[in-house]
Structure 1
Amino acid sequence: MAAGGPASELIMFIVAVLVAGSVAGALAYVTTDIAHGMNDRGAMLADQLRTDFAIINDPTNIPVAGTGPYNYTFYVKNIGKTSIPFTSSAIQVFIDGGIIPPANLTFTDVNGNSITTLNPYEVGVITVTLGNQLTTGTHKILIVLENGKKRSLVFET
């Protein structure tokens, strides 16, 4: 029986080392998973911080052309550090809570040339074509970029 004591202690030691190794492995996996999540979230946040824009219209004087359909002109300035995709597939426009179909949006520079990106500090033009004229009064436009950054403007017609 004297040999049973050291053998059982050796078995208990091996079991303790295996349990400690398993716990350490699980903690390493969880720590790595958290670190990757923080890295991904940080990259997404950095992208949102580098991307910024402003709607620079005079809210009391929105340019409108046509007698049906009506073309409303909104000026957007890229005030961020990165280029913004400037197309109907990358930008959604809402007026008074209703989404404007992509076919009713035109994206140009201030000279009327069609563009697909808005570089830093450039001004772009979004022309919204509506079948009916907006009623006289206060309205709200909301512009949402593909990364979720949004800006709104309350304007009068």
Structure 2
Amino acid sequence: MSSESISSLILFIAAMLVAAAVAGTLVTTVTDVSGSIDTHSDGVKEQIDTDFEIISDPGSDAVYDDSSETVSVLVKNTGSTTLASDGSDLDLLVNGEYVTDQVRPEILDDDATSWRRGVVAELEIEVENGLASGEEHRVTVTVNGQTETLEFYVPQS
């Protein structure tokens, strides 16, 4: 009789050890998943809160200046995130080519000191070797995963 109770006690202790090991593994895994979700959600929140619109008129002569070989793009911050006024979060493509020079947005609102919601900034992009006249061109602006594209036509000189 005592051998049955000892056997039951040993099986009970073994079952408790296995249950504790499984519970410990699950707690560690859940903690890791929770940390990953927290980290990823910060980036997603920033992406969701970022929004902007290119408000330049593509038919205007103000978009491309042939003499200085610059493209001027007006961008309005329509999201709830204040965008970096030094241009560090901007990625620019002109006709599919990445603009490697840092483009610093010029805030056009006299009362604004930062590129917050509702404020318009001008991006002046120097185009090496200019843009061909008589053709359509594209400028793509990306900020925090949000992308807008301006398509415009440079008339014949």
Alignment TM-score, normalising by the size of structure 2: 0.83
Given that 1:62 and 1:73 are in contact with CA atoms closer than 8 Å, whether structure 2 keeps it comes out as no
Identical columns (%)? 26
Cα 1:97–1:116 change in 2 (3 A) is: farther
1:150 aligns with 2:147: yes
| Separation in structure 2 between the aligned mates of residue 154 and residue 66 of structure 1, nearest angstrom | 17
The C-alpha deviation readout for 1:74-93, integer Å capped at 9, x for no partner, is: 00000011200133432121
More divergent stretch after superposition (9-18 vs 125-134): 125-134
| Separation in structure 2 between the aligned mates of residue 62 and residue 33 of structure 1, nearest angstrom | 55
The C-alpha deviation readout for 1:84-135, integer Å capped at 9, x for no partner, is: 01334321211111011225x3421227x8x984111000000011232211
Give the alignment's Cα RMSD to 1 decimal: 2.2
Letter in 2 for 1:56: I
| Separation in structure 2 between the aligned mates of residue 62 and residue 27 of structure 1, nearest angstrom | 63
Pairs aligned (count): 151
| Cα distance, 1:49 vs structure 2 | 1.4
* 5+ long unaligned stretches in structure 1: none
* 5+ long unaligned stretches in structure 2: none
Given that 1:89 and 1:102 are in contact with CA atoms closer than 8 Å, whether structure 2 keeps it comes out as no
Letter in 2 for 1:139: H
| Cα distance, 1:70 vs structure 2 | 1.2
Alignment TM-score, normalising by the size of structure 1: 0.83
Which residue number corresponds to residue 127 of structure 1? 124
Given that 1:86 and 1:107 are in contact with CA atoms closer than 8 Å, whether structure 2 keeps it comes out as yes
Which residue number corresponds to residue 136 of structure 2? 138
